Chains A and B, each alone.
Chain A
Amino acid sequence: MSRTALLLLADGRFPAGGHAHSGGMEAAVASGAVHDTTSLEAFCRGRLHTAGLTAAGLAAAAATGHDPLALDDAADTRTPVPALRHIGRRLGRQLLRAARATWPCPELDHIAHHRPGGVHQPVVLGVAARAAGLTPLDAAHAAAYDSVGGPATAAVRLLSLDPFDAAAVLGRLADDCDDVAGEAADAAGRVATAGTTVLPAASAPLLDITGEHHAAWTVRLFAS
């Protein structure tokens, strides 16, 4: 494996559209639920152990080589609100575009060909990781980190938080990210024999509720 490929895939500057998404942070800031570093950390920790864990499981499973279309269906069953399914596929299409340019391979072409409307972003992330020679655990790490990196950056922009505080929050979440990635990769290792139902399906009611709510706003800074 190339450790540098993992850094590239997980880099917020990788042109996959993530910069315009707050992962629910814009809605949380608007309601006052996130207003300082402490509440930012609570938000990120909660998102990591719910949406982040679920995404990490899907990404790790895709990186094992499991059928990405079946995993896309599994992502659908784990995403109960239309707004977040829409965003998941949109980010998936955008990541696919960047991944095909960076690590061209038949597996990524296969997704584009069979699901032109896109597959959920974590599934693309896993297939891209595999194309880059990374392991399922690497893919899970990238997904877990992605689940908190975006919201933390968005909070800095939305609340004018001290960026050093936000970086420190992410630093404190490192062990949790590792745990989540490990749990996700373990589950992904069982998918080949036990099917996608063994993958994490952790869910957070408020992320679903506010995700749909945010999509109905007419004026917003972030796409989600």
Chain B
Amino acid sequence: MKSGPEAPATALLPGDGDGTSTRRPVRTGTPHLPDAASRATGGTPPAGVRAAARLRAAHNGRTTTVPLLHSDGPFHLRRLRPRGEQARVCVLGAMSAPLGGDRLALDVTAGARTRLEVTTAAATIALRGSTRDPATYDVRLTVGEDASLDWLPQPLISAAGSTLHQTYRVELAGTSRLLLREEQLLGRSAEPPGHLSTRLTVRRNGRPVLDQHTAYGAPASAWDGPAVLGGHRATGQLLLVEPGLDAPPAPVLLGDPARGQCVLAPLADSQVLLATAVAPTLARLRHLLDAALAHVPRAEAPS
């Protein structure tokens, strides 16, 4: 089990002074990308990158393959060595993204009977960019019958001045298994966060089972107050769908108000479990989410 999300962030702006990479790749290679000059002058819209990356896993009768792997814009998709029957794909950031005005989409399908894991190589950092327009990042996860998807990206960091609207749309079959982890850090060290809104909708067998919208950072109201984050800057969730679960576990409560808190409990559709956590740091957040996962009968922690 890992102790924390220690993967380096590759899209940090210069001057962060934290010793991590300051690489800021040139934003080229997508058909909709305006040239650097127009981006810099904030010229005419659309000022952002439009990119739609896709990947699809299929079962060939023997094991899981990944016949579709379409990289686009900032998303460079790469196959990793499989783990047993599980195919693995890593999303590498080919440039800093999302920036203001970017419209990014990532579509992942785990076809029937597949075993698929998708990770990202580095934290995703929402940055301000040259326009004040919001960036959008739409993740669509579709899991077929008897298929299993682990979606385990590195954290999303909302940097000062950025605005990102993120959506997760998860479509599951009745026999799908899913492990989804989503972690957010609001602001890099010693800076206020940008504005980060996330809408998560999960449907199972066509029926909605979870619909959730969070909004942090100004102009959201009282987002760091005692009803919402209580001053914590890291928040995240684990969504676990286990059709084989006989009886849902009783709610699990972890942590304390100062060092972060987590609840793991079944949704109304009791084969879907959700862990929700807030914590002062990403490391502490990961610790809480890992500990919550360890309470689930399936109980194998993601790497």
Stretch of B42-50, B127-135, B146-154, B274-282 on the interface side: B274-282
- Min distance, Cβ B22 to any Cβ of chain A, angstroms: 32
- Min distance, Cβ A24 to any Cβ of chain B, angstroms: 6
- Decide if A39 touches B226 in the complex (CB within 8 Å): yes
Stretch of A61-69, A70-78, A126-134 on the interface side: A70-78
Task: Say whether, besides A85-B268, A209-B263, A202 and B215 are in contact (CB < 8 Å).
Answer: yes
- Decide if B227 touches A47 in the complex (CB within 8 Å): yes
- Decide if A176 touches B221 in the complex (CB within 8 Å): yes
From B199, B220, B277, contact of A49 by CB (8 A): B220
Q: Point out which of B215, B235, B251, B276 has the most chain A C-beta atoms below 10 A from its C-beta.
A: B276
User: Is B261 at the interface (CB under 8 A from chain A)?
Assistant: yes
Chain A residues within CB distance 8 Å of chain B = 24, 28, 31-34, 39, 42-51, 73-74, 76-83, 85, 176, 196-197, 200-210, 212-213, 216
User: Is B228 at the interface (CB under 8 A from chain A)?
Assistant: yes
- Decide if A80 touches B274 in the complex (CB within 8 Å): yes
The main secondary structure of chain B at its interface with chain A is strand
- Min distance, Cβ B254 to any Cβ of chain A, angstroms: 9
- Which B residues are in CB contact (< 8 Å) with A51? 227
- Which A residues are in CB contact (< 8 Å) with B226? 28, 33-34, 39, 42-43, 46, 206
- Which B residues are in CB contact (< 8 Å) with A213? 253, 261, 263
User: Is B229 at the interface (CB under 8 A from chain A)?
Assistant: yes
Instruction: Give the docked Cα–Cα distance between A194 and B199 (Å).
Output: 17
- Decide if A205 touches B214 in the complex (CB within 8 Å): yes
- Decide if B212 touches A78 in the complex (CB within 8 Å): yes
Instruction: Give the docked Cα–Cα distance between A168 and B266 (Å).
Output: 39
User: Is B267 at the interface (CB under 8 A from chain A)?
Assistant: yes
- Decide if B277 touches A81 in the complex (CB within 8 Å): no
- Which A residues are in CB contact (< 8 Å) with B257? 31-33
Task: Say whether, besides A46-B225, A213-B263, A206 and B230 are in contact (CB < 8 Å).
Answer: yes
- Decide if A200 touches B213 in the complex (CB within 8 Å): yes
From B220, B222, B268, B276, contact of A208 by CB (8 A): B276
- Min distance, Cβ B170 to any Cβ of chain A, angstroms: 12
- Decide if A212 touches B263 in the complex (CB within 8 Å): yes
Q: Interface code B28-53, partner A: CB below 8 Å = 1, 0 otherwise? A: 00000000000000000000000000
- Which B residues are in CB contact (< 8 Å) with A83? 251, 265
Instruction: Give the docked Cα–Cα distance between A19 and B64 (Å).
Output: 56
From B199, B221, B262, B276, contact of A46 by CB (8 A): B221
Task: Say whether, besides A201-B199, A205-B229, A80 and B223 are in contact (CB < 8 Å).
Answer: no
Q: Point out which of B211, B265, B274, B276 has the most chain A C-beta atoms below 10 A from its C-beta.
A: B211
User: Is B210 at the interface (CB under 8 A from chain A)?
Assistant: yes
- Which A residues are in CB contact (< 8 Å) with B278? 205-206, 209
From B227, B266, B267, B268, contact of A206 by CB (8 A): B227
- Which A residues are in CB contact (< 8 Å) with B215? 202
- Min distance, Cβ A52 to any Cβ of chain B, angstroms: 10
Task: Say whether, besides A205-B278, A206-B230, A208-B263, A78 and B211 are in contact (CB < 8 Å).
Answer: yes
- Decide if A203 touches B261 in the complex (CB within 8 Å): no
- Which A residues are in CB contact (< 8 Å) with B209? 77
Q: Point out which of A74, A79, A80 has the most chain B C-beta atoms below 10 A from its C-beta.
A: A80
Task: Say whether, besides A32-B257, A78-B211, A205-B276, A42 and B225 are in contact (CB < 8 Å).
Answer: yes
20 A-B contacts (beta carbon < 8 Å): A24-B227, A42-B222, A43-B226, A45-B225, A47-B227, A76-B267, A77-B209, A78-B212, A80-B265, A80-B274, A80-B276, A197-B208, A201-B213, A203-B214, A205-B214, A205-B235, A206-B227, A206-B229, A206-B230, A216-B253
Find the B residue at minimum CB distance from A42.
B225
- Which A residues are in CB contact (< 8 Å) with B261? 206, 209-210, 213
